[in-house]
Amino acid sequence: MRILRAIFGHGSGRIGGVIVGIYLVLAILGLLGLTPHNPITQYRIDRLHAPSAAYWMGTDLFGRDVASRLMAGIGQSFTVAFFSVAFAALAGTVLGLAAAWLGRRWDGVLMRIMDVLLAFPAILLALLIVTVAGPGTWTSVVAIGIVYTPIFTRVVRGPALSLKTREFVDAARTFGSSSSYIVTRHLLLNLVAPLTVQVTLALAWALLTEAGLSFLGLGTQPPAASLGLMLSDSRNLMETAPWLMIFPGLAIMISILGFNLLGDALRDILDPKMRRALA
């Protein structure tokens, strides 16, 4: 509750929060199929219909309602973004904590593996994984998740290493606390703030990557709707039906903007240095 109040007391947090909130509602409606029209029904008689009262954002080449497809696409994009970031945050946290806590050889081996993953440009690694496993929703989740894992590992390992040498960890050890207790209680709890910020920013990035993969035809497969796919399909009809490009384009942009604003606000709110400065 306090964090919500803090977000809404923060200029960009308020805007970001509202945007993300609206998108969440649209995503849920899209996933539940509560859209103005059926997103894959083809109203052939109304092909390439400009935006109107019946079709708020017009129809596409097959006479499908763009607004409904947009909602379904947002649902699709958010599903991929949430699961992939959850995957990366979980894997990255476990690996980062393990590297920091076990130290020495484990740290060396784990971080070198992360270096290997980081030596790939992100989209290239995602492309490679998608081609290996075949395009689809869950492949995108795994691909984006793996790409983002090294970043979470680094975000966790650095602070965990410095926390490990702090007095309270020594004290806990003297009291006879088990390793798993110290790692989860003392290390992990102190990492919640940087992780929250990273998760929010990662969501923005995951939405971008999902749209990019779908744009290249390697993400969500037709006839299912996805923002990147809609944008890609709009290319040849740009001049006759600009609404096919403008609405999905804006939808992607604003969703990323929302998470970026929210992430910035959370960083301001949760960064201990800033908090002290504000107090």
Partner 1 sequence: MTYLLRRLATFPLVLLGVSILVFVAIRMVPGDSITAMLGTEAGLLTPAQRDSLAAYFGIDQPWFVQYWRWIGGILHGNFGISVTYGRPVLDVILERFPLTLELAVLSMIIALLVGMPAGIYAATHNEKLSDLGVRVAAMIGQSTPSFVLGLLIIYTLSAGFGVLPAMGEFAPLWQDPLRNLSQLILPAITLGFAFAASVTRIARSAMLDVLSDDYVRTARSKGASARSVIWRHALPNALIPVVTLSGIEFGYLLGGAVIVEQIYALPGLGRMVLDAILQRDYALVQGTVLFIAFNFMIVNLLVDLAYVALDPRIRLGEQ
Q: At what angle are helices 137-164 and 66-102 packed, to 10 degrees? A: 30
Q: How far is the CB of 123 from partner 1 (least distance, A)?
A: 6
Q: Max Cα separation, the chain?
A: 77
**Alpha carbon separation from 204 to 80, 157, 208, 263 (Å, rounded):** 12, 22, 6, 9
Binding span for partner 1 by CB under 8 A among 77-85, 108-116, 175-183, 192-200: 108-116
Q: How far is the CB of 204 from partner 1 (least distance, A)?
A: 7
Q: Which of 31, 62, 120, 190 binds partner 1 (CB under 8 A)?
A: 120
Q: How far is the CB of 213 from partner 1 (least distance, A)?
A: 10
Q: Which of 113, 142, 172, 193 binds partner 1 (CB under 8 A)?
A: 113
Q: How far is the CB of 118 from partner 1 (least distance, A)?
A: 8
Binding span for partner 1 by CB under 8 A among 37-45, 89-97, 181-189, 235-243: 235-243
Q: What is the DSSP string of 67-112?
A: HHHHHHHHHHHHHHHHHHHHHHHHHHHHHHHHHHHH-HHHHHHHHH
Q: Which two tokens stand for residue 196?
A: 């929250």
Q: Which residues pair with 59 in a beta bridge?
A: 65
What is residue 279's three-state secondary structure?
coil
269 binds partner 1 (CB under 8 A): no
170 binds partner 1 (CB under 8 A): no
Length of the chain as a residue count: 279
Binding span for partner 1 by CB under 8 A among 28-36, 42-50, 65-73, 203-211: 203-211
CA nearest to 88, candidates 157, 155, 133, 144 = 144
**Residue 182, number of CB atoms within 10 A of its CB:** 20
129 binds partner 1 (CB under 8 A): yes
Binding span for partner 1 by CB under 8 A among 37-45, 53-61, 172-180, 205-213: 205-213
Closest CB to partner 1 among residues 74, 182: 74
Given a contact cutoff of 8 angstroms between Cβ atoms, the answer to whether 48 and 61 are in contact is: yes
Q: Which of 20, 98, 199, 261 binds partner 1 (CB under 8 A)?
A: 261
Residue with tokens 């946290």: 93
167 binds partner 1 (CB under 8 A): no
149 binds partner 1 (CB under 8 A): no
CA angle 200, 161, 115 (to 5 degrees): 65
Q: Which residues pair with 65 in a beta bridge?
A: 59
Give the Cα separation of 179 and 184 in Å (integer). 9
156 binds partner 1 (CB under 8 A): no
Given a contact cutoff of 8 angstroms between Cβ atoms, the answer to whether 202 and 89 are in contact is: yes
Closest CB to partner 1 among residues 68, 234: 234
123 binds partner 1 (CB under 8 A): yes
Contacts with partner 1, residue ranges (CB under 8 A): 12, 112-113, 115-116, 119-124, 127-129, 131-132, 134, 204, 208, 211-212, 215-216, 228, 231, 234-235, 238-239, 242, 245, 249, 252-254, 256-257, 260-261, 264
